[in-house]
A and B are shown apart, each in its own frame.
Chain A
Amino acid sequence: MNWPRKDLLDIAALSAEEIEIILDTAVSMKEVLTRPVKKLPTLRGKAVAMLFYETSTRTRSSFETAAKILGADTSSLAVAQSSVSKGESLLDTAKTLAAMNIDLLVVRHAASGAPQFLAERLPLGVINAGDGQHAHPTQALLDVYSMREKWGGVTGRKIVIVGDVLHSRVARSNALCLTKLGAEVVLVGPPTLLPPEMDYLGVRLSYDFDRELAGADGVMALRLQLERQQSGLFPSLREYNRLYGLTRERMARAGKECLVLHPGPMNRGVEIMSDVADSPQSVIETQVTNGVAVRMALIYLLLSGGAVDAVA
């Protein structure tokens, strides 16, 4: 198996075959996670650095855990305490890290395109851990992995993604990833959060959550940033929850088999009710475990080029 890519920036650049390779690799990585001794020598001597310009607990610790299990050394730049707060530019900060012979940089940034910007200018590999409203490819891969694990595959499945689609990198990357693998995606939200130009994704847009839930195999609730209300994008949490909240009554329309996903962190009682989040249909915690496996697969593929046997 050969993996020639240096970076993982966007699902859009990947073929369906490449996505399958990542997901297949993640299957053996997940097996490692069940072992009593969760440590591989595969990437011993490799250095992975986290450069997170947005606060993140789960994504950063997921990447760190993944890199450590594979035997790599990790470092993390806490932006608030670094020279970034002294006005150092993104490019200079990343160049400094590159000069320390880092092999792989994991970047999260509020500006769309920031990881690609660095990847084009630095010799080391870059993984996009979420950039602005643009892309969150590892989230999409772990979501699809979680669905595939339940269903065996996603081809022909109907997945409804509901919420603040306009501002969501998770929705964009998931829609791209799922449609590449042959799934049907419907994006749902109020018109202010689901403008018509989102049809660039080539998927159906709908304002009617209840109608779309019928026949859905999976439903993913997006995190609602509560400050959007002050910007006038929706009138109240009450009305949002009434129209687009994932409630038990609503889930009844989809049926007992319908999977419930959420990228986290959740606003319980807003976009998802607790009884749904904690129901047997929910794979929200499994998503977190799978996130480590998928990120292990990516770090392994990018750093070894697929050349060495990962899971000895």
Chain B
Amino acid sequence: MKYTGNVIKYGDNVDTDVIIPARYLNTSDHAELASHCMEDIDKSFVNRVKQGDIMVAGENFGCGSSREHAPIAIKASGISLVIAGSFARIFYRNAINIGLAIVECPAAAKEISEGDKVEADLDNGIIRDLTTGREYKTAPFPEFVQKIIENGGLMQSIVNGVF
């Protein structure tokens, strides 16, 4: 899969409470969740995010609550890919399960800046910062995880008889 978009950048330990505050968890409507995405740390996010934008963040992205509403809100806001130094494990599973593209790449997470234009080719494990001209290599997903992604998420994998 290939993704191209402008970067919106955050720091380390972005938790799922700030991705989507619990006061909005009385709904599971995707558009409604997206309308409050990131608001406790970045009120401007919902207004400036554009379809296809790429979110870049530091270590331990998505830590805290297991709420799947968090990757849902990010995906529904238009973000096409999240690049982070590392992901908290429940968020990592949830993103794969619902089909939000994510990739771990500490060097890219560190060097890419807010507003840069980035192109990511996950099949070949390459991230290019088109603004700075720098290129980064990423590790491929384990085959098992790749299968879930190829089948369009966990539920579809079950329907397709992968398990």
A binds B: no
Q: Which residues of B contact A (CB under 8 A)?
A: none
Q: Which residues of A contact B (CB under 8 A)?
A: none
